[in-house]
Structure 1
Amino acid sequence: MDLLRERILKDGKVAGDGILKVDTFLNHQIDVFLLDEIGKEFYNYFKDKPITKVLTVEASGIAIGAAAAKQFNVPLVFAKKTMSKNIDGEVYTATVKSYTKGLTYLICVAKKFLGEEDNVLLVDDFLANGSALLGLAEIVNQSGATLSGAGIVIEKSFQPGIGRATEAGIDVYSLAEITSIADGKVTFKD
């Protein structure tokens, strides 16, 4: 997606080897025009699948998930990183480790929001080590739903996440594939 690549080069900031900050347009402050285009791209790729739910993890995935869910005209469900008193009933859970924060979370989704009748599209801002994506896939598996694929805004193909997702049989569609982040420079796959 050329628009996204241009924005990464213009406004993305390299914060050490392997870390790309896109907080000025994607995961802190959000460019809603770009977000709408991201949703359309995911729809165009997955439109032949019978998507009934979009699933992401809080917090950075929520806006992206909303843009995709709007295009499919389906609900967005997001996995919470902490159990709270307002989650009623039973939940599906999975353990994920945040690459950028170095923290491990037990994510959860209330069982009433996913079931075996659902066809689920996963979405997230980054695919690095693949922990969040595989955790979401585990929740889909627990629910008995069908995993239709995963839409990723930025894939770091130099990290193991894409290999882990491919090995798990997940159809991953990435809008910007980065082959390296080093010496202050972002390199995309040609």
Structure 2
Amino acid sequence: MKLLEERILRDGQVRPGEILKVDSFLNHQLDVDLLQAIGREFYEKYKDAGITRILTVEASGIAIACETANLFHVPVVFAKKAKSKNLDGELYTSKVCSYTYGREYTVTLSKKFLGAEDTVLLVDDFLAVGKAMNGLIDICTQAGASVAGIGIAIEKGFQPGGKELRARGYDVMSLAILESMDDAGNIRFRAQ
């Protein structure tokens, strides 16, 4: 998606450790017009897949999920990283590791919001090594729900997550795939 690539080049900041900071438009301050365009791309790709739920992990994927779900007219469900006192009933749980934060979380999702009748589109802001997506896939498997596709705003193509998910047969749509980036701020995108 040219619009997203241009925004990354203009406002993204490369940090040591292969971190791309996009907090000025994607995951802290939100550019709603860009989010709508991202949601539209995912909708166009998966509009005939029978999507009944959009699923993400809190927190950065929620805005993208909402814009996408608005077009599908389906609910957004998100796996929570912290167990709160108002989570009740039976829960699906899975372990995920945050690349950015370098820590493992147990994510939870109430069983009443996802079941075997659901066809799910997974969405998130980043895909690096794929731990968050694997956790969401695990939750879908526990629920008996089918995964129609995976929509990613920015994929770090030099890390294994996207390649591994595609090799397992998942339909992954990444709107901007980073081929490389370095500490000097140079970013190169994979041709799509």
Find the residue that maps to 1:3 and give its secondary structure. helix
1:186 maps to which residue?
A: 187
Deviation at 1:10, TM superposition (A): 0.5
Deviation at 1:38, TM superposition (A): 0.5
1:56 maps to which residue?
A: 56
Find the residue that maps to 2:155 and give its secondary structure. strand
CA contact (8 A) 1:92 1:108 kept: yes
CA contact (8 A) 1:16 1:184 kept: no
Q: Does 1:138 align with 2:138?
A: yes
CA contact (8 A) 1:18 1:180 kept: no
**2: CA distance between counterparts of 1:185 and 1:46?**
32
Query: After the TM superposition, which segments of 4 or more aligned residues of structure 1 sit over 4 Å from their partners?
Result: none
Q: Kindly provide the CA deviation profile for residues 33-68 of structure 1, in whole angstroms up to 9, marking residues without a partner as x.
A: 000000000000111100000000000001011011
Equivalences for residues 15-164 of structure 1 within 5 A: 15-164=15-164
Find the residue that maps to 1:83 and give its secondary structure. coil
Q: Which amino acid aligns with 2:37?
A: E
Q: Kindly provide the CA deviation profile for residues 3-41 of structure 1, in whole angstroms up to 9, marking residues without a partner as x.
A: 111100000001124111000000000000000000000
CA contact (8 A) 1:129 1:160 kept: yes
Q: Kindly provide the CA deviation profile for residues 78-101 of structure 1, in whole angstroms up to 9, marking residues without a partner as x.
A: 000011111110011110000010
Deviation at 1:167, TM superposition (A): 3.0
- Structure 1: runs of 5+ lacking an equivalent: none
CA contact (8 A) 1:69 1:75 kept: yes
**2: CA distance between counterparts of 1:138 and 1:168?**
13
**2: CA distance between counterparts of 1:50 and 1:110?**
22
Identity %: 57
**2: CA distance between counterparts of 1:181 and 1:18?**
7
CA contact (8 A) 1:17 1:181 kept: no
CA contact (8 A) 1:179 1:187 kept: yes
TM norm structure 1 = 0.98
**2: CA distance between counterparts of 1:6 and 1:37?**
13
Q: Which amino acid aligns with 2:122?
A: L
CA contact (8 A) 1:96 1:107 kept: yes
Deviation at 1:168, TM superposition (A): 2.8
Worse-matched range after superposition: 55-64 or 11-20: 11-20
Deviation at 1:165, TM superposition (A): 1.1
CA contact (8 A) 1:39 1:67 kept: yes
- Structure 2: runs of 5+ lacking an equivalent: none
**1: CA distance between counterparts of 2:17 and 2:142?**
36
Q: Which amino acid aligns with 1:29?
A: Q
**2: CA distance between counterparts of 1:79 and 1:170?**
20
